[in-house]
């Protein structure tokens, strides 16, 4: 996960900079007659909610642990390459039609990163689609830590947790035939290679984050790709996590946020999904919404109820390891996303 968005990026600024990053080619009123609810039985009947398959939190936890076992998944490293191969293999094993999208992107310091987005398509023939996405790379330095700041982090929560939940959802999608909706699971790369705390910041610093999603938005895995909406999972595994309504999601996709939070409430996860709104932040959903035009909401641990406000004390530190991962939190998120899909 990146940082806070302290200014709104206009479409022209975003689009122009994205090309440089990719080196490969109300008041109460009496309602009118037309707006009043119908009194016909058909219009007023209660629609029965569908029950989604059970989310297996133990399986999701194991998927997080397996990623951490590879070591930090920093682009251009052997650990990153090995984990990417495994992720594509798991999606394939769970019945997805897999597309691996390689590319080269430029990092904040001018270095070239070998980016690899991994896409698992379910029911690719269905034109009605939903995107579920997370980033699978990890932060190359612990720039918020007090020790070993120049060393990469495990990224159990920041990176690993979102991917772990999506792999468990992939397992379910591959074995369940009751969902007609087309689903694309996209694992974005090079999200967490943004300007470090000690780096020089300027008006383009926001664009040093989320390089994989910027790359994909400029050239999706399928020409003319469209989805009704997207859901981003970022930092969704920590014990005691709180998921407030993220500000960028509220700006671009308030209806999607409402859909997710309604499902969480229906399932009894209101203690995780709060109604407060965070500041606007920089994350993959910003670029999917802005560049690709797919309204996307972010489920992310960002606390505003207590100080210090933000992503938690383990964010971008070596404390982001398996010791903070909770099966209960993974279950709350995974079950909620499944409920959204099955009741789309």
Sequence ranges of the domains in the chain: 52-342
Q: Give Cα 121 distance to the centre of its chain.
A: 16
| Angle at CA of residue 126, ends 190 and 137, nearest 5° | 10
295 contacts 253 by C-beta, under 8 angstroms: yes
Regions of the chain short of the pLDDT cut 70:
1-47
Q: What share of the chain is helix, strand, coil (3-state, %, to 5)?
A: 35, 20, 45
Non-local CB neighbours of 268 within 8 Å, separated by 6+ positions: none
CATH class of 52-342: alpha beta
Say whether 166 sits in a helix, a strand or coil. helix
- pLDDT, residue 200, reads 86
pLDDT in the model for residue 26 = 36
pLDDT at 168: 98
Q: What is the pLDDT of residue 61?
A: 99
* pLDDT at 27 (0 to 100): 36
pLDDT of res. 204? 84
Token reading at 32: 């009118």
Indicate whether this model's pTM tops 0.75: yes
């Amino acid at each position: 996960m990146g940082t806070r968005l302290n200014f709104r990026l206009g479409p022209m600024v975003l689009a122009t900079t994205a090309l440089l990053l990719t080196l490969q080619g109300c008041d109460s009123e009496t309602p009118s007659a037309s707006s009043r609810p119908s009194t016909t039985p058909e219009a007023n009947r209660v629609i029965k909610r569908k029950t989604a398959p059970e989310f297996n939190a133990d399986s999701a936890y194991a998927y997080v642990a397996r990623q951490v076992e590879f070591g930090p998944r920093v682009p251009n490293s052997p650990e990153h390459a090995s984990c990417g191969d495994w992720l594509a293999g798991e999606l394939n094993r769970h019945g997805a039609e897999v597309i691996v999208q390689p590319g080269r992107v430029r990092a904040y310091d001018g270095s070239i990163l070998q980016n690899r987005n991994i896409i698992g398509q379910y029911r690719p023939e269905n034109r009605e689609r939903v995107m579920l996405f997370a980033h699978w790379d990890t932060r190359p330095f612990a720039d918020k830590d007090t020790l070993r700041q120049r060393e990469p982090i495990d990224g159990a929560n920041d990176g690993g947790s979102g991917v772990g939940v999506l792999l468990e959802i992939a397992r379910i999608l591959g074995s369940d035939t009751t969902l007609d909706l087309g689903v694309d699971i996209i694992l974005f790369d090079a999200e967490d290679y943004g300007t470090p705390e000690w780096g020089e910041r300027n008006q383009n610093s926001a664009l040093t984050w989320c390089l994989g999603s910027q790359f994909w938005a400029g050239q999706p895995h399928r020409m003319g790709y469209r989805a009704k909406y997207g859901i981003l999972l970022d930092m969704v595994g920590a014990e005691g996590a709180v998921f407030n309504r993220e500000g960028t999601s509220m700006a671009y996709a308030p209806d999607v946020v409402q859909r997710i939070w309604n499902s969480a409430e229906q399932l009894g996860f209101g203690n995780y999904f709060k109604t407060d709104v965070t500041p606007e932040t920089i994350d993959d959903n910003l670029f999917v919404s802005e560049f690709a035009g797919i309204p996307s909401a972010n489920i992310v641990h960002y606390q505003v109820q207590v100080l210090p406000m933000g992503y938690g004390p383990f964010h971008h530190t070596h404390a982001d390891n398996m010791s903070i991962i909770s099966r209960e939190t993974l279950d709350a998120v995974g079950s909620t996303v499944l409920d959204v899909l099955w009741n789309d």
